[in-house]
Amino acid sequence: MLEISIIPALADNYIYLLHEPDSRVTAVVDPAAALPVMAALQRCGFELNYIFNTHHHSDHIGANLELKAATGCTVVGAKADHSRIPGIDIGLDDGDRIALGGETLLAIDTPGHTVGHIVYYSAGSRALFCGDTLFSLGCGRLFEGSAEQMWQSLQKLKALPAETKIYCAHEYTEANARFALTLEPGNPQLQRRYAEVCQLRRSNAPTLPSTIGQELATNPFLREHSSEIRQHLALPAASALEVFAAMRRQKDRFR
């Protein structure tokens, strides 16, 4: 079982520190900045073996080269995005697996936010490191991919076990909750989640991890079937993809 720690960075990024205790193999996911990672490694007495990148944006790969120079770690990312991942050593395709000590991470191709986005799933630890594809109560903006690509990517994640913990790369949950309530204000589980999130943020505590089960019950981007959402969008008989795309356009304009 992986030991997973959250390292806050920049304004609202989360870097994840993964440690497999039997082998003492250690990795970070999406290191935005080197200093907080080095401080965490020193505090825990860990040596860094791997960097796992979900995509090429600077707030996810910003510390790759500095950490690699300092530790000699191996950088892992999408093979399709090899030219945009600094210091990459191992490129993964959809369905590839990589060992982290006694644990195995599965790479899942999730284009949408970027065309080369991948996520990492540990079945043994029931953990998903999903970058900017799936957020708690939201999903990533479509910078490079299409609504159809993102929708298909999210279908893959919806199919994971309900107890799977969601470790996304940003603290966006409160703003996402406010948007979700404009679409589905009558959802009691969403109402409870919003109250919980507000309390956590008042204490400056992370709202993560969430779970797939929580997201299926509250995240509008996984709830295209909701009659309340469809009525709000005036799309009662539209396809799931049409409803998803309409929600994504509204979220882009939401303030």
For residue 82, say whether it is annotated as part of any ligand binding site. Answer: no
Q: In the annotation, is 56 catalytic? A: no
- Please name which of 79, 57, 70, 75 lies closest in space to residue 13, comparing C-alpha atoms: 57
Looking up tokens 């909750």 gives 177
Model confidence pTM above 0.85: yes
pLDDT digits (tens, 9 = 90+) for 114-148: 999 999 999 999 999 999 999 999 999 999 999 99
pLDDT digits (tens, 9 = 90+) for 85-118: 999 999 999 999 999 999 999 999 999 999 999 9
Q: In the annotation, is 232 catalytic? A: no
For residue 252, say whether it is annotated as part of any ligand binding site. Answer: no
For the chain, the average pLDDT equals: 98
Taking CA atoms, 107 is separated from 65, 99, 129, 135, in Å, by 22, 11, 10, 18
Check 56, 60, 109, 117 and give the catalytic one: 60
pLDDT band of residue 255 (cuts 50, 70, 90) is confident
Domains of the chain: 3-171+208-216 (3.60.15.10)
Check 56, 57, 81, 109 and give the catalytic one: 57
For residue 55, say whether it is annotated as part of any ligand binding site. Answer: yes
Q: Three-state DSSP class for 60?
A: helix
Q: In the annotation, is 132 catalytic? A: yes
pLDDT digits (tens, 9 = 90+) for 209-220: 999 999 999 999
Q: In the annotation, is 55 catalytic? A: yes
Q: Give the Cα separation of 54 and 114 in Å (integer).
A: 10
For residue 12, say whether it is annotated as part of any ligand binding site. Answer: no
Q: Give the Cα separation of 12 and 9 in Å (integer).
A: 7
pLDDT digits (tens, 9 = 90+) for 165-188: 999 999 999 999 999 999 999 999
